[in-house]
Structure 1
Amino acid sequence: MSLNEKIEKILGIEKEKISPFFADLSDVKKENAVPRGRVINVFVTIQAEGELIIRHEGGEDITLATIGDKKYPIILHEKLASSVRRKMLELLRRDYADHKEEINKIRGKNDDWDCSLRPFSSTNKEERMGGLCGECPNCMEFGFAVKEGSFNLKSRIEGDLHIATEPEQKSVVVRTFNVVDEVTKTTFVQGERTGGLFRLSLVREGTIFVGKVVMKDVSPAEFLLSLYSLASTSRIGAVTSDFGKISVHIPAIIFSSFEVSSGYDLHRRAEIEGLNNLDEINKRINSYLDRFKKNHVLVTSEDIAEEVLDELTVNGTISHDVVKEAWINGVNFRKAIELFVREKK
């Protein structure tokens, strides 16, 4: 079964209706180096299956957004994207271990491929360890900033706020912990010395977030790899050894030439504020998005994420056919950019 046929089966829609929204990266084409208005809006609901620490810059345990007269926990796109990106790297590394020779042939290199989100660290003037490789499907989809003599690549995976459906009063809990292995640690809570005690504000288990992830100018293989990585992401936030368990669900996808709706739009207009039932929230999201089907290609389901995992999982991981094609597409995309840049000089 071809990848287009897999997409057709997963989404339950004829491939002819959505094929114009995918980039053809089967060969090197310089026109693929610039955006072509092929936008895939993926609507996401995230349910906390354990307590979460969702920190961003600023030091608070939970980031809040004020909507109307209430405050709601939020997950910024960069927080979700970093978790999805790490999951994709795990999938790519496992596939590479099983198909090293084949992937190296696609790369046109014989050295061992390695890619990670940790920053480069200098060991001496000639050697640098860690960092993004700038060649794998992960880098070519999520982008990278690189060393001298090359180019920076903007991410083709974008997104916005993922907002909790319930306000802070119902979705946040404060817990006190004891640092039993650090007896000398001293913290302050409300001005009082607490010794080894400390407190964390946690997103309560069962809390549901609504938002959107956008994929722009991706190939069918890149689309499937990104969807699989998103659907299989199972932890997010800080201290994921103890907290952070989530499940990701996809009630709808809209294919268009531009972005449609947002997490904020859903939160305000899909009549989901205050709800805590995942099935009901997904139904209301789909009902609200139905208004866009006249001018866009709308796909709705009870959970597209479940369909993706069922269809693409082989021996406990993503199908090699998807990963192999994503590597080919990524290499062609990079060559297209290099060709475009050379001709512009």
Structure 2
Amino acid sequence: MATYAREVHIPEENAVVALGNQGNFADMVASWSERPDDPVVHAEWRGEEGGRVAVKASLSREARDFASRATFTVIVDVDSSGRLGIKARERATETIGKHLTRAGIEEYALGLDPVSNVLTITVPEASSRSAGELTKMGSEAAVAAVGQPLGVNVEITSNPPVPTHRGGQTYLLGGGPGYCTGGFSVTNSGLAGISTAAHCSPKPSYYDGAVVGETVGGADRDVRWTKVYGAKDARFQYTTGGYYTVNTSRNPTIGEGIGRYGARTGANSATVQLSGQCLKYSGWPQYCGLFATGSQTLQPGDSGGPWYVRVPGPQTVALGISSGYYNGRDYFSGVGSLNLLNMVVVTA
């Protein structure tokens, strides 16, 4: 709480209230987003202004009821334009990315804006395709994915996307010298293990002093489960030598201020700006379901590290694990991606 208060320049007692409100809003959005009818179009936490959420008509009454009872401001917009829900937008982005991969695009970032419905394709300047070709390719892929044309914006950058997994200690890759960072303790069908990024391969012989067993990486999510022999432990390192205990887990919400830890760079914090993103590193498959921040702090060695938020109690909420960075943003997989690989975060 003290760290957050210093970063946003408010008294610590105000930070307790602010983080509590942020957490309550994010918890509610997360529960709505899991419904089969995919009723949330967009949700954003705006700090002192409170939260704003755009929902389909099926959720309008419940969302307005939540807003009327909340102790902070919540603005509810009912979408009448037929925009995609959060889950459908993620599926569409993933499908479009697969079209790009099949067309031979080796490195890119991809996101579908929930407000403008514009698809943004970001590629390094070394890409073999021109902006015009990528625009046409994106438009055709969008029609195939969602049945309607979308606006396409192409951005050219000087550097390629970077998976953050080279050089160090913690989750040693095949005995080193490359390394990643272990994320949260998880179970997979009741078996204890550690989460990290899918691109963190090959596996180490030991993790945190314990013998390591089998490992399974996600095919289209940058998450990996590695079996660790030993007792389950809900703690994770949030600063060098300091540990928090996980009490619960969920996906983050846009606008949420959160923290992270990496073996290379240590502790840091950021604000979530984008969701439902896809990223393609050279030599790796397309990874989707990613969240992106407004700044880049990750470095090689930080991949797989934990992202979290502290809420009043105090309690610690597990949010996701690091993937990599590109074009001034950090990218990480949400806890929902861990669940897709049958991983459950260990909690106290």
What band does the TM-score fall into relative to the shorter chain?
Answer: under 0.3
Query: Higher relative contact order by CA 8 Å / sep ≥ 6: 1 or 2?
Result: 1
Greater strand share, 1 or 2?
Answer: 2
| Normalised TM-score (structure 2) | 0.24
Q: Going by fraction, where is helix more abundant, 1 or 2? A: 1
Whichever of the two has the greater Rg, that structure is 1
TM-score with structure 1 length normalisation? 0.25
